[in-house]
Amino acid sequence: MIKIAKESGQGLENVEFVCADVLKCSIEEQFNTLICLGGSLAHFSPEELTKLIKSVFCKADRILIGQIDRVYLCFNTFNKPNVARFGDKMTILFPEGYSSDNYITLNFLTIENEKTKTGSMKLYLYNPGILKALMELGGFKLKKTIQESRTYFYHFFENYDQ
C-alpha cells in the first residue's frame, strides 16, 4: 500500500507516506488535515483508539474519517459468509460471533494462485454515535456527517483546542 501511495503521490508537496505502528509513533509537529478512510479504526480497541486520538489526532486541525457502521453490518450481513474477489484473489469471511466486549471476530480464508491462507481478526463495533463521543473526549467537534450509503459515513471533525 505504501509503495502504491508513494507512486501515486509523486510531485505532491508536503506529503509523506510512512509505514509504521501508529500507536508507537511520535509526532511532534502540527498538521492541518488528517484523513482516515476505509473503516480502519475498527481494528483499534476502544483503549487504543482513545490513545490514538490523544497522541496523533490531536496534532491535526481537521480530520476526515470514513467509517463503516459495523454494528449494522454485524446484525444484517456478517451473520453469513461473505466473499470478496480482487482479480485472481478471493477472500471468504466467516463471522465467528459477537463479543460482549463490543467486537466481532471474523475468520478468513484467502485463495490466490492456488495457495490458501487462513486467519482471523477482531473488528470493533463503532457506530457513528460512539465515534463522535470518543472524538469529543479527545477535543474534537463534529462539523458535518455525510451518509454515502446505509453503512458508510464521512465525518468531518474540527479540533476545538487549536
Predicted confidence pLDDT, tens digits, the chain (162 residues): 678 888 888 888 877 777 788 888 888 888 888 888 877 888 899 899 999 998 888 889 999 998 877 666 666 665 667 787 888 888 887 777 777 777 888 788 899 888 999 998 888 888 788 888 989 988 899 999 988 877 788 889 898 865
Instruction: Give the fold, CATH level 3, of 72-124.
Output: N-terminal domain of TfIIb (2.20.25)
Chain region(s) in the chain for CATH 3.40.50.150: 31-69+127-162
What integer pLDDT is reported at residue 140 of this predicted model?
92
Instruction: Give the fold, CATH level 3, of 31-69+127-162.
Output: Rossmann fold (3.40.50)
SS (HEC) of the chain: CHHHHHHHCCCCCCCCCCCCCCCCCCCCCCEEEEEECCCHHHHCCHHHHHHHHHHCHHHEEEEEEEEECHHHHHHHCCCCCEEEEECCEEEEEEEEEEECCCEEEEEEEEEECCEEEEEEEEEECCCHHHHHHHHHHCCEEEEEEEECCCCEEEEEEEECCC
Chain region(s) in the chain for CATH 2.20.25: 72-124
